[in-house]
Amino acid sequence: MIYFENEGLICELNDGILLLKINRESKANALNGVTSYAMEEVLNKAENDKDVRVIIITGAGSKAFCAGEDLSELSSSGECATVTPHGFGGITNRLSKKPIIAAVNGFAVGGGMEIAMSCDLIVAAEHAKFGLTEVKVGLIASTGGLVRLARDIPTKLAMDMMLTGRVIKADEALKHNLINKVVSSENLLDEAYELARTICKNVPLSLEFSKMIFHRAKQMSLEDATAYCDIAYRFIEKTADGIEGPKAFMEKREAKWQGK
């Protein structure tokens, strides 16, 4: 089912899985302002749509996932027109309660890499490449790239990529845990959908709380994070799904989730 469509973005929703495809293949799927804001709107809508369980982001074609910002969109003063209230592509400054998977079908550079790193999981085609190339054009990876890269991979490799603008291949990205899995180009979307279907089998509230706690715990002491987790558990165990899950397990039947 078509969820949203314009000249730069095609979104389809099927069986709880929302596929966002950046559809600017002639521009290496670089984002212009219209497409970036369209992604913002779609992700805002999906955030509160119970029919959306998992989100997959990919690019059209097999060459590029996203080449970052379409530099022709810069104003005469150099002002960026693609950063929305939730960052570049509506995602780089978003903590979504929905699991998001990046299916990287080609090179993800500049803002494209920032989009991929903003996702919870990354599945990449064998020919995919990753890099923060902003230093090559007099800019910086300001919408999450510098911050996330410094936290996600070893310091020396992060400094190498940030200072040189070097692009790394999928196998090197996997070696340093920047991505989750490398598959053939032909199997990329199948793998992403299989991962999404596995996630869809789990309870929406459990997924939402797990993500929330995981991200916030990084900014807390162990004691505070543990206390926060305990408070969340005491809340979720009293929800309809928190009661239904253990009950269905004990009765050896399929659970009926209500999403509350």
Maximum CA pair distance of the chain? Answer: 66
Q: What pLDDT shows up at residue 8?
A: 96
Whether 114 is a known active-site residue: answer yes
Q: What pLDDT shows up at residue 254?
A: 83
Q: What pLDDT shows up at residue 140?
A: 87
Q: What pLDDT shows up at residue 255?
A: 82
Instruction: Taking the CA atoms of 144, 116, 7 and 85 in sequence, report the sign of the dihedral they define.
Output: negative
Task: Report the C-alpha gap between 1 and 103 in whole angstroms.
Answer: 20
How high is the mean pLDDT in each 10-residue block of the chain (260 residues)?
96 98 97 95 96 97 94 66 92 96 97 97 98 91 89 93 96 96 97 97 91 89 89 88 86 80
Q: What pTM did the predictor assign?
A: 0.94
Helix (H, G, I), strand (E, B) or coil at 129: strand
Whether 79 is a known active-site residue: answer no
The encoded tokens of residue 68 equal 């970052």
Which of the following is catalytic: 134, 186, 208, 251?
134
Q: How far is CA 226 from CA 190, 217, 222, in A?
A: 37, 8, 6
The encoded tokens of residue 154 equal 């070893």
Which of the following is catalytic: 5, 47, 79, 114?
114
